[in-house]
Structure 1
């Protein structure tokens, strides 16, 4: 079984918790029909689609977690991701974050009525 050069014990703990299989259940915007709703990619397995070896990675469920925070998370807060699901999910989370509503800023330059009246704006 392959493992990363750093944090091999943590990586192994995460993969063991997820049965050495990608954790994704559709977060990547794909249905994963062959795997019963869960990605069928297994660690050190081969993809039939592209014919390449899969190495799962350990990362948080929220892939927009800052790196400095993510590296301090314990194994129970990390998930096993295949490279394809990781990339697609991260892209989807970035897109959602970019299009989500910005907190209300309409009142940023509003003056209380008393000040507006003093300045002749009402």
Structure 2
């Protein structure tokens, strides 16, 4: 397995295109709550790399670049075009998604699909 092995569901090459455009590195610039300053303002996690000793290799995700887009229902997120996607490591993705959900709740905005 090389460091850019796509997920099984990447039948269109979209994941590969997003990860290649990001040079195989997480594109988070602090929306996760970390400032990433010692790494030039961008998360240092690379696809296939290791975050800590004793953990397995990291698999980057292709997901909405906009933090609010991470809250989209799966059927709408799957329809996003490549230009609206970014590479995320799981830690930054999850933290950014939690932050966006808290902000949405604080604003009292429930998405149109929240009832269904």
The CA deviation string for residues 10-61 of structure 1, in whole angstroms up to 9 with x for no partner, is: 1000011111110100010111123111000001111136633110000002
The equivalent position to 1:93 in structure 2, one of 94, 100, 115, is 100
Could you state the TM-score of these two structures normalised by the residue count of structure 1? 0.76
Counterpart in the other structure of 2:24: 20
Aligned residues: 102
Counterpart in the other structure of 2:6: 3
**C-alpha contact (below 8 Å) 1:2/1:55 kept by paired residues:** no
**C-alpha contact (below 8 Å) 1:20/1:42 kept by paired residues:** yes
Structure 1 gaps, min length 5: 103-122
In the alignment, is residue 78 of structure 1 matched against residue 82 of structure 2? no
Structure of higher CA gyration radius: 1
Structure 2 gaps, min length 5: 110-116
